[in-house]
């Protein structure tokens, strides 16, 4: 069963474009996505994720289960990058520590899809509002990551005050895009929102494929950064997600009643972003090395969650029903 899910995800066209990008860099091809186009694609992905999350909220009947899921998602996306940053700072510089912390505080849409496939295989229902939880977990982690990078940036002669740093974090273009899109998606008229569905939904995977193509090229070119940091980043990419997912799988019994919602929240806590956060960090933290945090999230944490994490979180939830 787990092998079927793994194969299904690894044969996803968007992920295969990531492999193509790595191959192109390996054979020293001149294949590349122009910088200006890549920036547009990055902003588009942030916009689409946020808008669709807002639309999901509109059609959700709010209950304690929904409120607790949304609140717990926001709390997790704020706490995880905060504590992981200090762990990472023991071995890495501020920019890389902040980018990695933001990635692991945020979520992976592809891992989310794999989790829903897992539940469908088990015939276990889950709430549609969990899509909104996923979208809501994107921007707090980015805010915390940007805040920490600015706050601990020792290269500046005049470090920002806490107020200025927080303002800079909240008004950052990437954060503003995803949060603003979430709000717009929530307040938009349903009929008018449907008019832009071809742009927000239908072409999403195509742009995601191009984004991952460039990420594959960038990752392959900078993979030495991952190797140079040795076992520390490897163990971090395996153990931290497992710890986060296991804790949430156990603790969620006290505020969520749906096994499906508990499982998805556990996966979201355990996953790491290689779409929204890299798109944001490419714009706000250019000194952070994508060849470090993207291989960690996509090359280590993602397959770990698919093969090892999901059965562990599911078993914990089953035992604590």
Instruction: Check which CATH number belongs to the domain holding 158 and give it.
Output: 1.20.1530.20
Per-residue pLDDT of the chain (321 residues; tens, 9 = 90+): 456 655 665 677 877 888 898 899 889 899 988 988 988 988 888 888 888 888 877 877 788 888 999 999 999 999 999 999 999 999 998 889 999 999 999 988 778 877 887 887 778 888 878 888 888 887 788 888 888 888 887 665 555 555 665 676 667 677 788 888 888 988 988 888 888 888 888 888 888 889 888 878 877 777 766 677 778 999 999 999 999 999 999 999 999 999 999 999 999 999 998 777 877 787 777 788 887 888 888 778 888 888 888 889 988 998 998
> Is 261:312 a contact under the CB 8 Å cutoff?
no
- Please give the angle made by the CA atoms of 100, 104 and 108, to the nearest 5 degrees: 120
Pairwise CA distance, residues 205 & 198, whole Å: 12
Query: In this structure, what DSSP letter does residue 192 have?
Result: H
Per-residue pLDDT, 317? 92
Is 158 within a domain?
yes
Q: At a CB cut-off of 8 Å and minimum separation 6, what does 94 contact?
A: 148, 149, 152, 153, 154
Could you give the C-alpha distances from 32 to 100, 145, 182, 275, 287, in angstroms and in order? 24, 28, 31, 18, 20
Pairwise CA distance, residues 21 & 107, whole Å: 22
Per-residue pLDDT, 302? 83
Is 23 within a domain?
no
Per-residue pLDDT, 195? 85
Is 13 within a domain?
no
Q: Which long-range contacts (CB under 8 A, 24 or more apart) does 197-204 make?
A: 200/47, 200/48, 200/51, 200/52, 201/48, 201/52, 204/45, 204/48
Pairwise CA distance, residues 100 & 102, whole Å: 5
Segments in 122-258 forming alpha helices (H): 130-136, 138-151, 162-171, 173-187, 190-195, 197, 204-221, 224-228, 230-251
Query: In this structure, what DSSP letter does residue 156 have?
Result: S
Per-residue pLDDT, 1? 47
Domain count, the chain: 1
Is 28 within a domain?
no
Is 228 within a domain?
yes
Pairwise CA distance, residues 190 & 58, whole Å: 9
Local structure of 12: helix, strand or coil: coil
Neighbours of 60 (CB within 10 A): 17
Q: Which domain holds residue 279?
A: 35-319
Q: What is the dihedral of CA 138, 141, 147, 152, to 10 degrees?
A: -140
Is 19 within a domain?
no
Per-residue pLDDT, 166? 64
Per-residue pLDDT, 156? 53
> Is 137:266 a contact under the CB 8 Å cutoff?
no
Is 17 within a domain?
no
Is 16 within a domain?
no
> Is 106:138 a contact under the CB 8 Å cutoff?
yes
Closest among 239, 252, 276 to 110, alpha carbons compared? 276
């Amino acid at each position: 069963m787990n092998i079927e899910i793994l194969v299904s995800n690894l044969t996803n066209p968007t992920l295969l474009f990531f492999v193509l990008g790595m191959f192109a860099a390996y054979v020293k091809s001149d294949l590349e996505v122009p910088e200006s186009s890549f920036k547009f694609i990055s902003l588009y992905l942030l916009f689409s994720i946020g808008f669709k999350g807002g639309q999901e909220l509109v059609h959700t009947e709010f209950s304690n289960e929904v409120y607790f899921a949304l609140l717990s998602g926001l709390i997790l996306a704020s706490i995880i990058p905060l504590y992981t940053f200090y762990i990472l700072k023991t071995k890495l510089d501020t920019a890389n520590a902040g980018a990695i912390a933001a990635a692991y505080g945020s979520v992976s849409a592809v891992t989310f899809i794999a989790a829903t496939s897992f539940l469908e295989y088990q015939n276990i229902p889950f709430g549609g509002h969990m899509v909104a939880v996923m979208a809501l977990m994107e921007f707090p982690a980015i805010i915390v990551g940007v805040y920490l990078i600015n706050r601990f940036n020792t290269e500046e002669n005049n470090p920002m005050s806490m107020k200025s740093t927080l303002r800079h974090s909240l008004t950052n273009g990437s954060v503003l895009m995803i949060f603003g899109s979430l709000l717009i998606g929530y307040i938009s008229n349903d009929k008018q929102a449907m008019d832009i569905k071809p742009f927000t939904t239908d072409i999403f995977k195509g742009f995601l494929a191009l984004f991952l193509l460039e990420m594959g090229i960038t990752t392959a070119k900078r993979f030495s950064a991952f190797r140079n940091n040795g076992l520390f980043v490897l163990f971090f990419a395996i153990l931290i997600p497992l710890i986060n997912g296991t804790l949430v799988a156990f603790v969620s019994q006290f505020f969520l009643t749906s096994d499906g919602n508990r499982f998805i929240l556990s996966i979201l806590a355990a996953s790491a972003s290689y779409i929204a956060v890299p798109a944001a960090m490419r714009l706000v933290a250019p000194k952070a090395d994508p060849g470090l945090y993207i291989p960690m999230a996509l090359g280590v944490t993602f397959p770990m969650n698919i093969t090892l994490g999901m059965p562990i979180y599911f078993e914990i939830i089953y035992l604590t029903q």
